[in-house]
Amino acid sequence: MTYIDFHTHHLPTEPDVVAVVDGRDTWGLHPWRAGEGWPASVPDLSARLAIGECGLDALRGPSMQAQLEVFRRQVRLSETLGKPLIVHCVKAIDLLLQVHRELCPSVPWLLHGFRGKPQQLRSLLAAGMYVGFGHRHNAESLRLCPLARLMPETDDDPMHPIREIYNNVALAQGISVPQLCTAMDENYHAFFKKEPPRG
């Protein structure tokens, strides 16, 4: 049984945890850093799984206009490379959905660290997005999210390991942890178009 952590900033320390580590497995410019502008050169991204985390944050970082510009570039990059996008979005879901409609991406997007209510969840699902759930989340949204669109994550929180998140998700979804692990293997495959690595 493998626990996949779909978005984290820490290297996994346990052999049965597979983690998508920000900066190691993905490449992107976080919205808080969008003011730095686009880098002069983009590294070779062929071994990376996804672009991100990138996105929009209405509470932190440079102006929304600066964030939008850098975000749109990353959306285009993910399309060019055919790699999925990992999105950070705080208090800007309507704008995010607008960009999604505008750019009509062909690769899937994961909105990580979702804490919104079911109404917002429904809009994201209708747009075809995957939704990441960590320690802090809306319980009703976690219960309602279809398993095929759900991704457990620890993000930047070492206090709540991925096993704990899996326990919470399995409980909310009314399934066992092994069932959840199997479903998350399938989600990994559907999202990254690759088999999850074995520990």
What CA–CA distance (Å, rounded) separates 165 from 161? 7
What CA–CA distance (Å, rounded) separates 50 from 110? 10
By C-beta, is 5 or 155 nearer to Zn ion? 155
Give, rounded to a whole angstrom, the gap between the first and last alpha carbons of the chain.
9
Report the residue count for the chain: 199
For tokens 């850093």, the residue is 33
The least distance separating Zn ion from the CB of residue 50, rounded to whole angstroms, comes to: 12
- Kindly state the number of chain residues that form the binding site for Zn ion, as judged by CB under 5 A: 1
Restricting to residues 144-173, name those near Zn ion by CB under 5 A: 155
The least distance separating Zn ion from the CB of residue 17, rounded to whole angstroms, comes to: 17
By C-beta, is 32 or 192 nearer to Zn ion? 32
* Residue 28, token pair as written in the block: 């992107």
* Nearest residue to Zn ion, scored by beta-carbon proximity: 155
By C-beta, is 21 or 147 nearer to Zn ion? 21
The least distance separating Zn ion from the CB of residue 72, rounded to whole angstroms, comes to: 20
Which residues of the chain form contacts with Zn ion (CB under 5 A)? 155
